[in-house]
Structures are given as C-alpha cells and as structure tokens.
C-alpha cells in the first residue's frame, strides 16, 4: 500500500480510466510531480500537456466538460488555484461545470521552493467559490477514495494533496462520505478538528494530553466543503472547547469553516493552530517547516490546554 498521496492520485486515475473513457487529464508542465504522468503512459490520447499555462488549462478543461468529458487538471496547489482563479471562477464555477482540480504539493510540502510555491491560501480561495467542493485527504487511501468520488459525481471539485508521504491512518473499507467528520480518537474534554498532514500530529498531541488528564477527541475533516453541520454541532455539544489545526492560513480555511457552523449556536472556546498571516519560507526539509510554523504535538497540546482552561 503506497504512502504517497501523489501516487495514489495518479494510480487511481489510471484505474478509473480503464472503465470510463470520458476521463481526461490535463497537466501544466508538472505531470512527473503530480503523477499525471501515469495516466499519460496508460492513455496518451486522453492526456493533454498544457505547458506553464494554467489559465488556458482551466479554460480548456471547461470546454472539454461541455463535450461530456470529465477533466482532471493538476498543478502545484499554489498555481492550480491562484494562477487561474479567474478562469476557475468564471468558466468553471459560474456555469457549474464538471471539472476536477488537483492542487498537488499543497501547503508547505514543497519545502525547498519557498513562498512562491507554497499554498497557504488555496482552501480559502476554493472554499469561497459557489458550487465548488473542497477536499483534503489524510492519506493515500483517502486520496484514492476522494478521486473516485470526484469522478463519479458532477460539479467543480478541488482536492489538495501533500507532496510528502504520509502515514496511512484510514482503511479502504471505510468509505469516504462528503461532509462527514471522522473520529480518529475519542475524548470527552475537547475536540481537535484537523485535516491532512496535521491529523497524525494531533493524534500524538492527544496522547500527551491524556497523560495530563485531558481527553481529546481527534477529528479528521477531509471534506472542508461541504461539512455535515448536525454532526459537527453534536461533536461540539459533547466537549468543553475545540481546537482547529490546519496547514493553511488561519483565515478562510478549516478554522473558519468550523467556527461558522458552531459559533452561532454554541458557546465554545475556539483556538486556531495554523499559519498566522505570513508567507512560507524555504527549508532543508518538510519537518523543519512544520516545526517552524508550530505544527507540532507540543503546540497543539498547549492550544488544547489553553482552550479547556
């Protein structure tokens, strides 16, 4: 079983392409990184190398969808959402077309290339668009499940994928359900809502919290838009406070999505762990960046302790 979310994305598209001839893949000069190259090797007549022209790629995908094709477009997340935002908004979301967007090397995971290549705002950009769904898988298994869901259901959808291998935390038999929040560890004192790479970090934090007498419920939120509101409220009703953790700006992402649902109906203290209004930087490795921006068990532990104080 692969631990690479990028490989899971490429292999799943190849698998789907065997039975669904309408699936096409477009890449913006990064297919070896996004793993669109796997689809190119299997179905060269349904793969389109668009070059460094993300706006054209998005518009071409919109046109292909009007012919009945199911286009998956991919680039680094910062480019797949930012460079062609106007085309996504105008040509894909306003007419509600069946285009799927993969933001690869999301968050800080392109650690060596710095702020220009790191997407700390992609969730916010995609989440604010009407008709767009936004997904952030925790591992390779969930990546495959989400890609299959995207291919089988109509409408604009965005998936953000980490560049680095992540531990497998889910099981293939646990099917992905859009909007569902998944309990990774039960607890009665505080809820920690998290997504992507930070789920495994939050699980480690919950172990340390338990040693100090604080029982933390850790929730994996792979579907940031939509989210099942009733489930979210039920979770928060059962705890004293909640923390949100995301490898993204504290503005416009998971924290805002959860708060918008909970705050009007429940009085619960909310602490956000995320990137605080700054850009990314270059580093020798991914771990260095995660630690620099506070994505550590200790940071999450302190946030939880403050929330329940």
| 89-103 tens-digit pLDDT | 999 999 999 999 999
Sign of CA dihedral 276, 282, 284, 285: positive
For residues 243 and 304, the answer to whether their CB atoms sit within 8 Å is: yes
Q: 104-129 pLDDT, tens per residue? A: 999 999 999 999 999 999 999 999 99
When pLDDT is averaged across residues 55-84 and rounded to a whole number, the result is 98
Q: Where are the domains of the chain?
A: 5-160, 182-308
Q: Rounded CA gap, 16 and 22, in Å?
A: 10
- Rounded to the nearest 5°, which phi and psi values hold at 261? -85, -45
Q: Which residues pair with 275 in a beta bridge?
A: 249
Rounded Cα–Cα distance for residues 266 and 119 (Å): 31
pLDDT band at 55 (very low <50, low <70, confident <90, very high): very high
pLDDT digits (tens, 9 = 90+) for 172-195: 888 899 999 999 999 999 999 999
User: Does the fold of domain 182-308 match that of domain 5-160?
Assistant: yes
* Arithmetic mean of pLDDT, 38-55: 97
**Domain at 182-308: CATH architecture:** 3-Layer(aba) Sandwich (3.40)
Nearest Cα to 92, choosing from 50, 121, 64? 64
Count of CA atoms in the C-beta half-sphere (13 A) of 188: 1
pLDDT of residue 1: 65
Q: What is the pLDDT of residues 201-218, one digit of tens each?
A: 999 999 999 999 999 999
Instruction: Report the CATH number of the 5-160 domain.
Output: 3.40.50.970
**pLDDT of 284 over the 80 cut:** yes
């Amino acid at each position: 079983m692969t631990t690479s979310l990028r490989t899971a994305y490429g292999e799943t598209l190849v698998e789907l392409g065997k039975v669904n001839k309408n699936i096409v893949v477009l890449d913006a000069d990064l297919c070896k990184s996004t793993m669109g190259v796997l689809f190119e090797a299997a179905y060269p007549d349904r793969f389109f190398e668009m070059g460094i022209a993300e706006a054209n790629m998005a518009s071409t995908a919109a046109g292909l969808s009007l012919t009945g094709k199911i286009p998956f477009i991919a680039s680094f997340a910062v480019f797949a959402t930012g460079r062609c935002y106007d085309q996504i908004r105008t040509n894909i979301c306003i007419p509600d077309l069946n285009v799927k967007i993969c933001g690869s090397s999301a968050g800080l995971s392109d650690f060596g290339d710095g702020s220009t290549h790191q997407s700390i705002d992609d969730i916010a950009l995609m989440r604010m668009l009407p008709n767009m769904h936004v997904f952030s898988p925790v591992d390779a298994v969930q990546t495959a499940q989400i890609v299959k869901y995207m291919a089988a259901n109509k409408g604009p959808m965005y998936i953000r994928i980490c560049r680095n291998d992540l531990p497998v935390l889910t099981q293939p038999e646990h099917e992905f359900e859009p909007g569902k929040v998944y309990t990774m560890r039960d607890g009665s004192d505080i809820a920690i809502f998290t997504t992507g790479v930070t789920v495994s970090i939050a699980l480690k934090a919950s172990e340390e919290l338990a040693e100090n007498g604080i029982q933390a419920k850790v929730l994996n939120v792979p579907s940031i838009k939509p989210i099942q509101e009733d489930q979210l409220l039920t979770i928060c009703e059962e705890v004293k406070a909640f923390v949100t953790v995301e490898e993204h700006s504290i503005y416009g992402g998971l924290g805002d999505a959860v708060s918008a649902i909970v705050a009007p109906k429940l009085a619960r203290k909310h602490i956000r762990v995320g990137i605080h209004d700054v850009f990314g930087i270059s580093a020798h490795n991914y771990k260095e960046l995660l630690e620099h921006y506070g994505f550590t068990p200790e940071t999450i532990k302190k946030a939880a302790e403050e929330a329940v104080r």
